[in-house]
Amino acid sequence: MSKHVENTGADGITAPTCAMGYAFKAIEGKWKLPVMYVLSERGAARYNEIKRELGITNMMLTNTLRDLEEYGLVNRTQYNEVPPRVEYSLTDNGYAIIPALKEFEKWGQLLLDAKEGGAQD
């Protein structure tokens, strides 16, 4: 059962105890959800695989992966090999958002279909 803390204070969704606000903060930004989606599709991926798939800069990908790690959404596994190998994968908490992303994808398709339908009018 999930714990819901009712927030009636002036902070609203930005209050530290607001679960929705915390969730928004965990996935805010341009690249977090796309990175999580790529990892959900691949299972595990190396840095350059993610970078190639998304066309993201090194700095943005590094910062995004660090943020996702801090929120416990992504695992970083370093293998003791030569050359060094690092793989990223979603944690159980990271996978928990994937059903919502699949619904988001359906919604995006509805928008695309509506746009195409409107262009024909």
pLDDT at residue 7, rounded to an integer:
47
Global confidence as pTM: 0.80
Give the confidence band of 3 by pLDDT, cuts at 50, 70, 90. low
Q: Quick one: tokens of 61?
A: 């990908």
Give residue-wise pLDDT tens across range 22-48.
Answer: 999 999 999 999 999 999 999 999 999
pLDDT at residue 1, rounded to an integer:
46
Dihedral (CA of 62, 86, 54, 109) sign: negative
CB neighbour class for 29 (10 Å; exposed up to 12, middle 13-18, buried from 19):
middle
Contact 89, 75 (CB under 8 A): yes
Q: 3-class DSSP state for residue 103? A: helix
Q: Quick one: tokens of 113?
A: 């279909």
Spatial distance between the Cα atoms of 18 and 113, rounded to a whole number of angstroms: 35
